[in-house]
Homo-oligomer: A and B are copies of this chain.
Amino acid sequence: MKDLATTLDLGSGPAMRARRQIFNVCEQDKITLDIAALRTANPDHWMKAAAIRALTLDAVAAANSGHSGMPMGMADVATVLFEKHLNFDPKMPEWPDRDRFILSAGHGSMLLYSLMYLTGYEDMPLEQIKDFRQWGAKTAGHPEFGHARGIETTTGPLGQGIANSVGFAIAEEIQRATWGKKIIDHNTYVIAGDGCLMEGVSHEAIGLAGMQKLSHLIVLFDNNNITIDGTVDMADVTDQNARFAAAGWHVQAIDGHDPQAIDAAITAAKADPRPSMIACKTHIAIGHAAQDTSKGHGALTDPAQLQSAKEVYGWNYGPFEVPADIKSQWEAIGARGAQTRADWEARFATLSGTKQAEFKRIFAGEAPKKLSATIRALKKQITESQPKVATRKSSEMTLEVINPIMAETIGGSADLTGSNNTKTADLGVFNPDNRKGRYIYYGVREHGMAAAMNGMALHGGAKPYGGTFMCFTDYARGAMRLSALMGVPATYVMTHDSIGLGEDGPTHQPVEHLAMMRATPNTHVFRPADTVETAESWELALTSQSTPSVLCLSRQGLPTVRTEHKTKNLTAQGAYVLADATGKRQAILMATGSEVSVALAARDLLQSDGIGTRVVSMPCWELFAAQDESYRRKVLPAGPVRVGIEAGVRFGWDQWLLGERGNAKKAGFVGMQSFGASAPAEVLFEKFGITAEDTAAQVKALLGL
């Protein structure tokens, strides 16, 4: 066995000071890391943690890629967490009242996979560990939600996990208040690294959690002072403890290799009424030649160094070998949750049948049966009253009928509540004094909001929606992409969806954002034309099980274009004939959102000139693309001139204008070719040439008239 002696900055955490006896205390809070002493002091703990370290080294070496250092550094913290605190049941990973464990530092995926294998998750046999990072394996480079039961969220893009966790904790708070502690009462644990904490989204998450006093949220900070480029202080000198404290958190600093200190700190964190951050001073790649270096962050594959590290651990086993006694100790930890889960099930069984069914429905992510009838009734009323309102207002009108029948909706806005029209009368505001509130003032935190929405949806029992100006989709992109990748049915309420925003100018006017979102796989981008289409879009968003929805809504008032009531949800077809040509069909106008009424007005002009013109409303391209060929052909037959109308860039439109039996010589587009400008909305539509007259002129030109 080798001795590796390095120094460790203890920080000033009081919990730590009590644990110094096993270390050689040096001046200035520095201690010598003595692995031999660590092994001797807590031999059982040590070997359980060593199993994680050895599996990590073996899996990364086999894959010849990955990140060894973090699982090695945080193995002690994770071992104590799983052994003494985490409520989980590997045999039933979806048990609703389990504690959630979020690996925000997702590159350290082997930590999670090792823990899942060791504690006996069925989706994580040893073969999966051996197949780390290979095609078809559940053990992807970063943890991927849906690959193996027990992975709570997809992480890897830094900061997302800690920001998700705020959503997990909010959902837990609301459900605890709603269902009572007997049914919902669990913690959310997060492991986050320096990288997570440098990302901007961590600031938004930490601020939101601090204000909301999310006492069941506990962050274990892997304070190893190493990033890819080198030591953290090459880029950051932030006092993380002071930073979290400034945001209202309970803060502790401990030695992350001291099991008693870890246990004591987690116990204290659970007891504190604030969210809790435990800065765990650790050695990345502990015991390896690359310990405490940025090299240690990556893939450690050198066979001799690997073997040497195992010797330091006292781990005398072959690749992927975990001796039976250590495996059975881990399995005992995994088995610990079975009784807790059974107790919970017994408590759940005491609920009334109605309540049980409601709980199951909500956790299955199913919309209530009456949603459909409720939406139909609204549509009927709208086709009769035919209001001229902005679709953001239409969205509010829809939420006013949805929220009362769906206790699982959790609304909010990134400080634009009155503009996004996201708050309805009955929701109540979620805050430390009202845990049953279902509306969240997210603050000016678009990215944090989106990531929290992911967390709520993943927690289960919640249907989150949140609003901002559509242009600020830019700020939320990192989390919105993860909604799509994970298949999380969150709903983004993106208002002020074009130059129709007006005077605020080009920084606030999306022109490329529809293209950006439509280019993203597994995303439903709805741009409804009026209140009826908005209601239909909401119905689709709320019944979606595995696709996020983006509602792109106007600032400006729009006439009701769906003036005839249809029980069928036409938006579900993605596009449909809104007004057909009178006489010979010479032109098809295709439009979305606020430009559908422009198309209808253009049709009037063209028909009055004897040009038979069809108007196709296209509220959701993705759903139209998913229709069968014969339906698409019916809506977009070959022959007529086609003009697309949308107050955004043409990028992507050629799929419909030139594709689908179109013809480049007979296709045109009315939209934006640049960023917008600051002026009243009606002036902008005029100046940028997005009018019925411009459309009609383009059709005539294409017809050679």
Contacts and interface: CB of A to CB of B under 8 A. Distances in A.
Contact of A142 (B203, B248, B505): B505
A539 interface: no
A444 B246 contact: no
A419 B350 CA distance: 57
Nearest to A228: B415
B654 A658 contact: yes
Nearest to A241: B246
Interface in A193-224: 194-196, 198-204, 207-208, 210-211
Contacts of A508: 141-142, 156-157
A227 interface: yes
A422 to B, nearest CB: 11
Contacts of A140: 505-506, 677-678
Nearest to A442: B235
Contacts of A156: 504-505, 507-508
Given A200-B445, A521-B674, A135 B687 contact: yes
A242 interface: yes
Interface string A509-520: 001100110111
Contact of A677 (B135, B674, B683): B135
A416 B158 CA distance: 13
Given A242-B242, A419-B228, A505-B140, A198 B444 contact: yes
A238 interface: yes
A377 B503 CA distance: 50
A559 interface: no
Contacts of A679: 133-136
B133 A415 contact: no
Given A417-B228, A474-B477, A658-B654, A673 B246 contact: no
A504 B652 CA distance: 29
A239 interface: yes
A243 interface: yes
B418 A504 contact: no
Interface string A355-396: 000000000000000000000000000000000000000000
A425 interface: no
A248 B242 contact: no
Going nearest first, the 4 A-B pairs with the smallest beta carbon separation are A200-B200, A235-B443, A203-B203, A140-B678
Given A199-B200, A228-B419, A652-B652, 20 more contacts: A135-B687, A142-B508, A142-B678, A195-B444, A199-B444, A200-B200, A202-B203, A211-B233, A227-B443, A235-B442, A235-B445, A236-B443, A237-B247, A242-B245, A515-B519, A515-B651, A516-B519, A654-B654, A654-B655, A662-B664
